[in-house]
Amino acid sequence: MKILVFQHLDVEHPGVFSEFWKKAGHDIHTVHFNRDSTIPPLHGFDLLVVLGGPMDVWETDKNPWLIREMSAIRTWVRDLDKPYFGICLGHQLLAQALGGQVGLMKEPEVGLATIRQTEDGVHDPLFAHAPREMEIFQWHGAEVQTLPEGAVVLAANAACPMQAMRVGRHAWGLQYHVEMTATTVAEWSAIPEYRASMEKALGAERAAGLENTLAPLLPGFNAMARTLNDNLFTCVTALT
C-alpha cells in the first residue's frame, strides 16, 4: 500500500507507526512541510496520514504552506474520497479544511489523560477491540470547536469534547498522540512552543518528570497504536 505522510517537524514523525508500516512492506512518501512543501500528485496514494506540529491552523501568514496543505486535504477527502488519518494538528487540519473551526483551549492539555468513547465511537471500526475508557497521551493547546459537515465525535473528555472524530465514512482524526516512542518526550521538549505549553500545563517539576512518568506506560500505548493501525488498514482495505 502507498502511504502519503504530511509531516511538519522533524521530531514529530510517525513514530511507532513507521515500524508497523515498514514491517508490513508499505511504500511511504513523506512531505516535510518544514523544509519542502512540494505535494506530489495525490492519485497515486492509498492513505493520507497527517501528523502534529507546533503551528496552529490559522497561522497561514507565518506558514503559507498551510493553505496548500488544507487544499490537498480537502481534495483528498471530499473529491477523491480516499482514507485519511490525522493526529493532533492533523486532526485539526482535517476539521478546518472541511469547514469546521479550530480555536485555542482555555488551558493546554499536556501529559496523561483519560478519554471515553461516544456511542458513535463504540461502533466505529477504528476503535474495534479498544476499551471504552482509554488513558492516552496529550500535547496540545488548540482544539476542534466546530465539526465539519458529515462529522461525528468518537471520543471526548471534559477538557476537550472532540478528542476523536470521523468525517464521512473514511476520514479519522485523533487529537491525542498514539505514535510515541521512548524518545518522544525528550525530542518534543526541545521545541520551545512545546516546552512552554508543557510547563504551563504541568508546572516545572512535573514537566521535568514527564519522560519518566510515560516510560512504564509505553508498552501499553504501543499496543494501543498497533490495534488502531490494524483497524485502520482493515478499513482502508475495505474502502479501496
Q: Is 13 marked active-site?
A: no
Among the options 88, 109, 140, 160, which is catalytic?
88
Query: Which candidate in 91, 140, 179, 235 is catalytic?
Result: 179
Distances in Å between the Cα of 160 and the Cα atoms of 29, 115, 224, 231, 234 are: 32, 9, 20, 24, 28
φ and ψ at 84, to 5 degrees?
-135, 140
**DSSP E strands, the chain:** 2-7, 27-32, 47-50, 84-87, 101-117, 133-146, 151-156, 164-167, 171-174
Active-site residue, from 13, 91, 140, 177:
177
Contact between residue 39 and residue 68 where contact means Cβ atoms under 8 Å apart: yes
Cα(first)–Cα(last) distance of the chain, in Å?
10
Query: If we measure between CA atoms, which residue out of 1, 50, 45 comes closest to residue 27?
Result: 1
Query: At how many degrees (to 10) do helices 16-24 and 218-239 cross?
Result: 50
The helix or strand, by DSSP H or E, that contains position 60, with its residue range, turns out to be none
The DSSP 8-state label assigned to residue 216 in this structure reads: G
SS3 137: strand
Q: State yes or no: is 235 an active-site residue.
A: no
Helices (H), 123-168: none
Positions annotated as catalytic residues are 88, 177, 179
